C-alpha cells in the first residue's frame, strides 16, 4: 500500500485509470479518514495485499477506483460528508 496525502496526485491517478506517470497501474484507490482526522488516500498495486478493511488507521473509507470496475466514487466524498 502507498499512502498519498496530496489530492492532486490522487486526481492524476483517477484521471489516468490508476496510472501515475512512471508507476505501474494500481488495482485500487481508497479515500479514508485517518485516525488523526486528516483525509488521506491509499493505493494498492495488488488485490491480494488490499487490507483496507482491517487497517487500524482508517476511521472511515471509500473505494474510489478499482481496475476491474473503474470509477466508483468521486474524490472528496469524505469532505462532502462534513458539508451534509
Reduce the DSSP state of residue 34 to 3 states and report it.
strand
User: Three cell numbers at 63?
Assistant: 473505494
Average pLDDT over residues 7-23: 93
pLDDT of residue 1: 87
Q: Report how far residue 60's alpha carbon sits from residue 10's, in angstroms, rounded to the nearest whole number.
A: 18
Mean pLDDT across 6-17: 93
What pLDDT digit, counting tens, does each position of 32-68 carry?
Answer: 999 998 999 999 999 999 999 998 999 899 999 999 9
The share of the chain scoring above pLDDT 90, in percent, equals: 73
Say whether pLDDT at 78 is over 60: no
Amino acid at each position: 500500500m502507498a499512502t498519498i496525502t496530496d489530492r492532486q496526485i490522487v486526481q492524476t491517478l483517477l484521471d489516468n485509470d490508476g496510472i501515475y506517470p512512471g508507476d505501474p497501474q494500481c488495482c485500487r484507490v481508497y479515500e479514508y479518514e485517518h485516525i488523526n482526522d486528516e483525509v488521506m488516500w491509499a493505493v494498492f498495486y495488488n488485490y491480494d495485499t488490499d487490507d483496507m478493511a482491517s487497517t487500524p488507521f482508517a476511521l472511515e473509507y471509500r473505494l474510489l477506483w478499482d481496475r476491474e470496475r473503474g470509477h466508483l466514487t468521486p474524490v472528496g466524498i469524505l469532505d462532502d460528508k462534513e458539508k451534509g
